[in-house]
Amino acid sequence: MSEIEVRHLSKTFTQKDLKVDALSDINLTVEKGDIYGIIGMSGAGKSTLVRCLNFLEKPTEGQVFIEGRELGSMDEKQLRKQRMKIAMIFQNFNLLGQKNSIENICFPLTIQGKPKKEARKRAQELLETVGLAEKAKSYPSQLSGGQKQRVAIARALACDPSILLCDEATSALDPQTTESILGLLKEINEKLGITIVIITHQMAVIQKICNRVAIIENGHLVEDGLVTDIFAHPKSHAARELILRDARGEVSSAAAQVDEITEGQKIRIVFSENSAFEPVIANMILQFGHPVNILLANTRNVGGVAKGEMVLQLPDDRDLRFKMENYLKDRGLELEEVDD
Ligand SMILES: Nc1ncnc2c1ncn2[C@@H]1O[C@H](COP(=O)(O)OP(=O)(O)OP(=O)(O)O)[C@@H](O)[C@H]1O
């Protein structure tokens, strides 16, 4: 049985005469133990989708199953109980400003009726889990962004959830803090066996910790599957765009070149880091006696495996370009064309 199953889910917001189709016929499954990424551009429908997973937002059509139980068939009381098992963290942390770290973590436990002493003991343990034991008495205003998110994660874990939904949880953090929070989420997934769903607009976040991903564009799920497969062979325009946008951000000097050079066919090649890629390019240039531009060259950690990628600009001459493409294909490299 899947941990989460979404069937034919659509969501339309209606305000007076205005209708917004935020999600259209979404189907996806998240298995127990997955770190599942949902990625898309701004306004694609990611937050709406994640809010439908715990029925904070009720779908207009379709069904959501959690461990085989359909949320739409539950009454309010059952739904509240189910939601305890689906924790959520947010971009802006949502901590209570008047309460210190321990009190923030205790909050969901005392609401549940847990005795104060037990709740504090559990909260202290959770602060240790997130590496913040010494900040028990600190108020949110006295914590850094990363520390606030750690307290929010501890609070999310208080009710022993089986699922953790993360809505842009690292978007407000600098790259180094993002890295440490993603590391913590991975640890939680592995040690506590919690299934994690991550909403983001950054491919780097998906590549860092997710095993599977769904790509949302204008309310439609345009592609889903293993992160390693989609990185190597993105099929949808949206996936290509997200991967290349991220690569451009990482290699800013190369990005400048991409902008300057607009003529000629561009191709993207993905290869494992240890494959003999550079000699292939060098030999191709020698064989054809014509240079190619390397617009982007990058190495990324995708699902724990080092992957290289290059974007090449081949010559304008159609015949020569065709021969070069065949030369690369004959050597086992898979190419895909890249739009401007
Ligand atoms: N309560 C609402 N009422 C009306 N329209 C809404 C509501 N919530 C979201 N929308 C619309 O639904 C669409 C999807 O919004 P959503 O917030 O899910 O996108 P997103 O991918 O999370 O965007 P972002 O990355 O910018 O947060 C947008 O067009 C948005 O304006």
Are 95 and 214 members of one domain?
A: yes
List all residues whose CB is within 6 A of at least one atom of ligand 1: 13, 15, 20, 22, 40, 42-48, 201
Encode burial over 166-195: b for 16+ CB neighbours within 10 A, e otherwise.
bbbbbebbeeebbbebbebbbebbeeeebb
Tell me how far CA of residue 182 lies from CA of 179, 210, 264, in angstroms: 5, 10, 39
Residue bearing tokens 């089986």: 162
> Does 127 share its domain with 229?
yes
Closest atom of ligand 1 relative to the 219 alpha carbon: 14
Looking at the fold, whether 191 and 133 belong to one and the same domain comes out as yes
Classify residue 245: in a domain, yes or no. no
For 17-44, write each residue's pLDDT tens digit: 899 999 999 999 999 999 999 999 999 9
Other C-beta atoms closer than 10 Å to the C-beta of 242 total 25
- Do 15 and 80 lie in one domain? The reply is yes
Q: In terms of residues, how long is the chain? A: 340
The CA distance from 232 to 305, in Å, is 12
Cα(43) to centroid(ligand 1), Å = 5
Q: How far apart are CA 46 and CA 215, in angstroms?
A: 9
Where does 112-209 show beta strands of DSSP type E?
163-167, 195-200
Report residue 264 as tokens.
């000629």
Rounded Cα–Cα distance for residues 272 and 232 (Å): 10
Q: What is the pLDDT of residue 257?
A: 43
Distance 63 CA to ligand 1 centre (A): 20
Neighbours of 197 (CB within 10 A): 25
Q: How far is the CA of 50 from the centre of ligand 1 (A)?
A: 11
Q: Do 37 and 162 belong together in one domain?
A: yes
Ligand 1 pocket mutation pick from 12, 13, 198 by most atoms within 8 angstroms of CB: 13
CATH number of 304's domain? 3.30.70.260
Adjacency order of strands within the sheet including 18-30: 18-30, 4-15, 61-66, 69-70
Let me know if residue 130 belongs to a domain: yes
Q: How far is the CA of 47 from the centre of ligand 1 (A)?
A: 7
Domain containing residue 262: 251-338
Same domain, 144 and 103: yes
Residue 102 is assigned to a structural domain of this protein:
yes
Asked if residue 99 belongs to a domain, the reply is yes
Q: Is residue 238 part of a domain?
A: no
> Which 3 state secondary structure label does DSSP give 333?
coil
Classify 29 in phi/psi space as left (phi over 0), alpha (psi -120 to 50) or beta. Answer: beta
Residue 199 has what pLDDT? 96
Confidence (pLDDT) at 53: 96
C-beta separation of 6 from 28 below 8 A: yes
Q: What is the tally of structural domains in the chain?
A: 2
Q: How far is the CA of 93 from the centre of ligand 1 (A)?
A: 19
- Sign of the alpha-carbon dihedral angle for 176, 177, 182, 184: positive
Closest approach atom of ligand 1 to CA 18 = 4
* Structure confidence at residue 314 (pLDDT): 87
User: Is residue 226 domain-shared with residue 110, that is, in the same domain?
Assistant: yes
pLDDT on residue 96: 95
The stretches in the chain having pLDDT less than 50 are: 252-262
Instruction: Please check whether residue 241 lies inside any domain of the structure.
Output: no
> What is the best residue among 10, 39, 41, 47 to mutate for testing ligand 1's pocket, by most ligand atoms within 8 Å of CB?
47
> Which ligand 1 atom is the nearest neighbour of the CA of 47?
22
Same domain, 162 and 294: no
Task: Give me ligand 1 centre to Cα 113, in Å.
Answer: 35
What is the residue whose two structure tokens read 């305000």? 15
Same-domain pairing of 128 and 204: yes
Q: Check whether residue 107 and residue 190 sit in a common domain.
A: yes
Domain boundary among 204, 233, 262: 233
**H helical segments located in 85-144:** 101-111, 116-129
Q: What is the pTM of this model?
A: 0.82
Distance 200 CA to ligand 1 centre (A): 14
CATH number of the domain residue 101 falls in = 3.40.50.300
| Atom number in ligand 1 closest to CA 44 | 21
Ligand 1 atom 4 nearest Cα: 13
> Which residue has a Cα nearest atom 7 of ligand 1?
13
CA distance 255 to 191: 39
Kindly state whether residues 69 and 208 are assigned to the same domain: yes
Ligand 1 atom nearest the C-alpha of 57 is 1
Closest atom of ligand 1 to CA, residue 48? 18
Ligand 1, atom 12, residue with closest C-alpha: 22
Question: What does the alpha-carbon distance between residue 124 and residue 104 come to, in Å, rounded to a whole number?
Answer: 11
Q: Are residues 219 and 310 in the same domain?
A: no
What is the ipTM score, two decimals?
Answer: 0.96
Q: Where are the beta strands (DSSP E) in 86-192?
A: 86-90, 163-167
